């Protein structure tokens, strides 16, 4: 099996999908972050990002969570992952861990009590620190915890979910909420993403043929998660074929392989 890094003389795999401190800010990310900053700087109670799968909302929220403030507002970002399998206990545990309190004292009780969470938020508020709950996914468990905390005015919540209406979120937090979009990549975003991904691992400029990049953009429909998978596969296929760069043909082979995998899984 061809070693992709060795073949292309790269210091690392550019599209591995592993946790990485590098964050690509394309046009959609910059626009979304600017609008989120505007909302949170005024302590907007709730913000909904109506996200499509594979469009990069998890990465964007993870990047936002590394910030210590929004504008002139000191913030404590706390991120939760609300998968369908998540329980109230697991959501409370994630919140408690992010707030720096003993989450075992919360989750170890027979009945989940969000009082510890609320008191931690109130303590931060007295220190002029505003808590921002970043909810990656809005499962029933997240709804239940949010309902328990709805009377607490010491935090904002940013929700990334594809099947939620802003009116329901507004009703839950008892205040009007905002909607902020995270759009798909444009072709220029795709070009920049590919170029920067390759450059940061020591790759050469012409590693991807321009038409191959255009084809990757079309095949991924501008979804960064899909683009990452297709780009990684194309890079591996081009290496296996002994090519000098990733060509449109290599991208086409990647598309054929993806279709076969989809049919096999059906």
Q: What digits encode the pLDDT tens for the residues 189-223?
A: 999 999 999 999 999 989 999 999 999 999 999 99
| Record: fold of 27-179 | Rossmann fold (3.40.50)
Lowest mean per-residue pLDDT among 75-84, 108-117, 241-250: 108-117
- Is the pLDDT at 238 greater than 50, yes or no? yes
- Average pLDDT along the chain: 88
Q: What letter does residue 153 receive in the DSSP assignment?
A: -
User: Is residue 25 within 8 Å of residue 256, measured between CB atoms?
Assistant: no
CATH 3.40.50.300 residue ranges for the chain: 27-179
CATH 1.10.8 residue ranges for the chain: 4-10+185-265
Residue 149 structure tokens: 């905390």
- Is the pLDDT at 27 greater than 80, yes or no? yes
Local confidence band at 110 (pLDDT 50, 70, 90 cut-offs): very low
User: For 134-186, how does the pLDDT look when each residue is reduced to its tens digit (9 = 90+)?
Assistant: 999 888 899 999 999 988 999 999 999 887 777 878 888 878 889 999 999 99
Task: Taking each helix axis as running N to C, give the angle between helix 248-265 and helix 224-240, from 0 to 180 degrees, rounded to the nearest 10.
Answer: 110
- Architecture of the domain made up of 4-10+185-265: Orthogonal Bundle (1.10)
């Amino acid at each position: 099996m061809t070693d992709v890094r060795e073949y292309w003389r790269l210091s690392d795999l550019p599209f591995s999908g592993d946790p990485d401190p590098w964050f690509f800010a394309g046009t959609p990310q910059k626009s979304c972050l600017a609008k989120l900053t505007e909302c949170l700087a005024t302590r907007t109670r709730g913000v909904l990002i109506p996200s499509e799968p594979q469009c990069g909302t998890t990465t964007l929220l993870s990047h936002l969570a590394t910030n210590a403030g929004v504008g002139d507002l000191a913030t404590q970002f706390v991120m939760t992952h609300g998968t369908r399998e998540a329980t109230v206990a697991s959501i409370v545990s994630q919140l408690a861990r992010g707030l720096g309190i003993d989450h075992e004292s919360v989750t170890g009780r027979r009945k989940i009590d969000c009082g510890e969470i609320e008191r931690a938020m109130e303590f931060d508020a007295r220190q002029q620190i505003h808590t921002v709950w970043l909810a990656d996914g809005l499962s029933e468990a997240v709804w239940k915890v949010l309902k328990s905390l709805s009377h607490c005015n010491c935090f904002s919540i940013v929700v990334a979910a594809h099947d939620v209406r802003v009116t329901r979120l507004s009703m839950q937090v008892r205040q009007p909420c905002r909607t902020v979009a995270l759009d798909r990549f444009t072709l220029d975003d795709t070009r920049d993403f590919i170029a920067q991904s390759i450059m940061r691992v020591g790759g050469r400029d012409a590693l991807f043929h321009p038409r191959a990049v255009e084809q990757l953009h079309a095949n991924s429909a501008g979804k960064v998660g899909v683009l990452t998978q297709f780009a990684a596969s194309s890079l591996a296929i081009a290496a296996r074929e002994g090519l000098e760069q990733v060509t449109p043909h290599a991208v086409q082979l990647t598309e054929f392989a993806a279709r076969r995998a989809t049919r096999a899984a059906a």
